[in-house]
Chains A and B, each alone.
Chain A
Amino acid sequence: MGRDPGSDPVNELAVVRGDLRARFGTGKGVGVQAVFALLVCLATLLGLSPDADGATPSQVVGGVSIAILVAAAYVAVAISSGEIAIPGEKTLPDLVMSPFSAGEIVRGKAITSAVFAAHLALATWPAFYFLNALRDGSPWVAAAQAGVVAAVVWGFAAIGTWLSGAVEGDLVRSLAAWGLLAGVFGLLPLLGFPSFQPVRAVHPGVAGELRAMCALFSTVIGALAFWGSARRIPYLRAET
């Protein structure tokens, strides 16, 4: 996904602007975010439940953090894969016909995903902060949790982008997105793959190294997915 000769950052920003305008400037885009924020607030409210006797760190905060992470990951993968179609947002197949190069398109998508991941993490930060402060926890833990959300959401957005180009049928793409969520959040903890466990990394009581590993893996997987998307565009162009 290196910068190809002759590529123009203005074109990358055009992709970014178009996506963000759709997500923030349309009723559906704002509506999706409103539903996400509502889920975050409801999960936070559940986080007020008393902890089990002697539980340190709180299992309640752990559960709520996982719920928030799953919701954020779903929003990211659903929007970027086109499962939730935001009017005006161009998916990978839509951009195939544009004059932009594959690198420009994918770099634009990567920037969009990064901005949106940071945005969703910012939405979850007050909730993490509140739940940790309620249990006399450190704000740094809340910041680290929000950091995990940002990294994981970016990775999921990248995979969603790749899915939009790689999987043609809407139903199959939706199934793939849901399968991805189920695999990462349901299957991985069962398999015990220790270095990439978003479910564990977002827990308030986990060691910092595990969070860093998870964030690193998410970033690497995201980069690979965007690289795969860039490789996919010439095929899509050839098909059209």
Chain B
Amino acid sequence: MQVSGRLGWDGWIKPGTWNPITVTLRSTGTLEGRLVVDLPQEAGRQHIRVSRPVQVGAGGSRIVRFPALVRDSRRPPVLSLIRGQVVVASEELAVSPARTAATLLAEVGDSTGGAGRLADPVRRRAVAHLREEDLPEDAVAYASLDLLIVTNLNERILNEHQRSALREWVLHGGRVLVAGALPDGPLAAWLLPGTYTGRESVVRGVRSLGGGEVTIRQIQRDPGTQPIWEGAVLLGVTAARGLGSVTLWAPELVDVPPGSPLWRLALPAPPQPPELDELEVVSRAAFGPAAAGLLAYWILWVAAVALAGLGRGRWLAIPLVAALATAGLRHMSQRAREISGSPQIQALSVVVEGVEWTRARGVQVSAYGGRFIYTLSAGSHPAVVGGFQDAEVEVLPDRVRIEAKQRAGDRLWLWWDGVAPRRLEVELSADETELRTVGPLADLGEGTLFWQDRMIPLGRLQGRHRLDTGAWRPVEARHPGLRTLRAWIPQAGTIMKNHPVVVVEREGFGGGWWVVIPGRIR
């Protein structure tokens, strides 16, 4: 049995966010167990364990890829393979503190492509060199990556999950720069904003290319894409893909000097942490349901006592009621714990082209001590922060289960990211008189349409809305959904300039969960 793991992008990580872990399992016999990652926390005494079931056939091997939130390179995660209660293999996924970055670029393909020149220790900008196998299978793992540079990518090597993850990341704001070969395939067809014609030309005096003589490829750009010109020279093409962008360059990567304006166009703005509001939370006790349950117990008990006095054998009613009350109060204690343990949620789900990316946080102050269980939907990646003694995250096929041991009054934070398919589309007519919504709307409440510094309330979302042109009004910055969007996504302003955006409350979360659907003009 062999287990080996790698953390990060070619050994580089961005602390405080999701980084990829790639684990290779090789087994001579059939293996069925759990792959466990222990994440030591800053406080030292706390302990988080993330486990997922894993199976390997006899004589086979398997690669498992998943994201992990790494806060500090000095406390590396420990990877273990556990069968039953026995640790079969264990390995520390160590990262050098020198290989942590504030801005992380990754180049797939030829490592001599020239992207390495962008590494800047002062700005803590690093360039990782990857092969196709290193790409994550979950879009959340891309959260630590600022720009993916492709000089050579054979998408046939990628599995379906890797292709989907790359597409989902781009749809939700990921940036890809292509400056090399990308053989035909569905991913390339979707991604590329143009194609190389196969012809080359020699240009001179182009400042973006250092001013010397440079051979560049000619590009046939697709309709609706943005050309990048310097004078009469087409240096590249860029196109939006959902909320992200893809750029295709005409010159080779090595011919673009690090200070070129082309790089300034390609590189993302410095990352900004989300500016989230304080979440007010108090510990809650379920007095109402408990009072009802105890009243029922009292009535039954008095009835049983009265019955016991009526004759021989009827005393059996007393233990019967005690047993019944125990069962009922057990159920009620679980319900009361659920109520006292339910976190206050602030969440944002952005739906782009059938892909929903949810960013969420919840805070809970436990009224009582003990173990609390939180359940998230499948595909969620949670991080547990704050007051708890130990936490276990179990990634199951149909859900993610978190069990945290807390003391009374402990304030526990749950952060999670999750990507899932969701068909929800919005189309605004060009004359702005009609809005069409496609997809299931059952869990959505009242919505508002934002479009170019204006907004219009929609009421409860339906398939089709007639819009009164006189009802448009300037955007209210205090709109809670808009505040949530701006807090989580710093480039929200750009999104609302380029797309009509429907912001709608998700029901059942007390106004804490907003769904954002960037639409298009029909």
Report which A residues bind B (CB closer than 8 A): 21, 23-26, 29-30, 33-34, 37-38, 41, 44-45, 48-56, 58, 119, 122-123, 125-127, 129-130, 133-137
Cβ of A126 and Cβ of B368 under 8 Å apart?
Answer: no
A52 near B290: Cβ-Cβ < 8 Å:
no
Q: Which of A26, A44, A45, A125 contacts B326 (CB 8 A)?
A: A125
Q: Which residues of B contact A48 (CB under 8 A)?
A: 285-287, 290, 336
Looking at the assembled complex, report how far the CB atom of A136 sits from the nearest CB atom of chain B, in whole angstroms. 2
The majority secondary structure among interface residues of chain B is: helix
Q: Which residues of A contact B11 (CB under 8 A)?
A: none
Which residues in chain B, 287-338, are within 8 Å of chain A measured between CB atoms? 287, 290-291, 294-295, 297-298, 301-302, 305-306, 308-310, 315, 318-319, 322, 325-326, 329-330, 332-334, 336-337
Residues of B within 8 A of A133 (CB): 329-330, 333-334
Which residues in A have their C-beta under 8 angstroms from that of B319? 122
Q: For the complex of A and B, list the 9 residue pairs with the smallest distance between their C-beta atoms, beginning with the closest.
A: A136-B370, A53-B409, A25-B309, A24-B309, A51-B408, A50-B367, A133-B333, A130-B329, A126-B325
Q: Which of A21, A29, A126 lies in contact with B329, CB distance below 8 A?
A: A126
Does B283 belong to the interface (CB within 8 Å)?
Answer: yes
> Could you tell me if A126 and B371 are in contact, using CB atoms closer than 8 angstroms?
no
Q: Please measure, in the bound complex, the distance between the C-alpha atom of A119 and the C-alpha atom of B302, giving whole angstroms.
A: 12
- 12 A-B pairs within 8 Å (CB atoms) are namely A25-B310, A41-B298, A48-B286, A51-B368, A55-B409, A56-B408, A126-B325, A129-B330, A130-B330, A130-B333, A134-B368, A135-B370
Are the CB atoms of B408 and A58 closer together than 8 Å? yes
- Given the known A-B contacts A41-B294, A123-B301, are A134 and B308 also in contact in the complex, defined by CB atoms under 8 Å? no
Assembled-state Cα–Cα distance A34/B370 (Å): 33
Q: Is B407 an interface residue (CB 8 A)?
A: yes
Contact B309 A56 (CB under 8 A): no
B369: interface (CB < 8 Å): yes
In the complex, chain A residues whose CB is within 8 Å of the CB of B287: 45, 48
Determine whether the beta carbon of A51 is less than 8 Å from that of B369: yes
Using Cβ atoms and an 8 Å threshold, which residues of chain B touch A53? 407-410
Chain B neighbourhood of A33, CB < 8 A = 302, 305
B306 touches A30 (CB 8 A): yes
* A38-B298, A126-B326 known; A45 vs B290 contact (CB < 8 Å): yes
User: B368: nearest residue on chain A (CB-CB)?
Assistant: A135
Kindly identify which residue among B285, B325, B332 contacts A49, using a CB–CB cutoff of 8 Å. Answer: B285
Contacts A45-B290, A129-B329 aside, 17 further interface pairs with beta carbons under 8 A come to: A30-B306, A41-B294, A44-B290, A45-B294, A48-B285, A49-B285, A50-B283, A50-B340, A51-B369, A53-B407, A53-B409, A122-B319, A123-B301, A126-B297, A133-B329, A136-B337, A136-B370
Residues of B with Cβ closer than 8 Å to A? 283, 285-287, 290-291, 294-295, 297-298, 301-302, 305-306, 308-310, 315, 318-319, 322, 325-326, 329-330, 332-334, 336-337, 340, 367-371, 407-410
- A56–B407 touching, CB < 8 Å: yes
Is the Cβ of A56 less than 8 Å from the Cβ of B322?
Answer: no
Which B residues touch A23, using CB under 8 A?
309
CB distance from B404 to the nearest CB of A (A): 11
CA of A112 to CA of B305 in the docked complex: distance in angstroms? 16
Q: Nearest Cβ distance between residue A87 and chain B, in whole angstroms?
A: 12
Residue of A whose beta carbon sits closest to that of B328: A126
Find the B residue at minimum CB distance from A24: B309
- From B291, B337, B369, B370, contact of A45 by CB (8 A): B291
A132 to chain B, nearest CB (A): 8
Instruction: Give Cα distance in the complex from A134 to B318, angstroms.
Output: 24
Contacts of A49 in B (CB 8 A): 285
Q: Give chain A nearest CB distance to B513 CB in angstroms.
A: 26
Contact A123 B294 (CB under 8 A): no
Name the one of A30, A34, A41, A123 contacting B295, with C-beta atoms under 8 angstroms.
Answer: A41
Q: A residues within 8 A CB of B332?
A: 130
A136, B372: Cα distance in complex, Å:
9
B285 touches A52 (CB 8 A): no
Residues of A within 8 A of B310 (CB): 25
Q: How far is the CA of A45 from the CA of B287 in the complex (A)?
A: 7
CA distance A45 to B333 in the complex (A): 12
Whether A50 and B408, one on each chain, are in contact in the complex, defined by CB atoms closer than 8 angstroms, is yes
A127 to B293, CA, bound (A): 11
In whole angstroms, what is the CA distance A135 to B340 when docked?
11
Q: Kindly list chain B residues whose C-beta atoms are within 8 Å of the C-beta of A44.
A: 290, 294
**Cβ distance B120 to chain A, nearest Cβ, rounded Å:** 46
CA gap between A23 and B290 in the complex, in Å: 29
With a cutoff of 8 Å between Cβ atoms, the chain B residues found around residue A135 in the complex are 368-370, 408
A92 CB to nearest B CB, Å: 23
Which residue of chain B lies nearest to A49 when distances are taken between CB atoms in the complex? Answer: B285
Determine which of A21, A54, A123 lies in contact with B408 in the assembled complex, contact meaning CB atoms within 8 Å: A54
Measured CB to CB, the nearest residue on chain A to B406 is A136
The answer on a CB contact under 8 Å between A136 and B302 is no
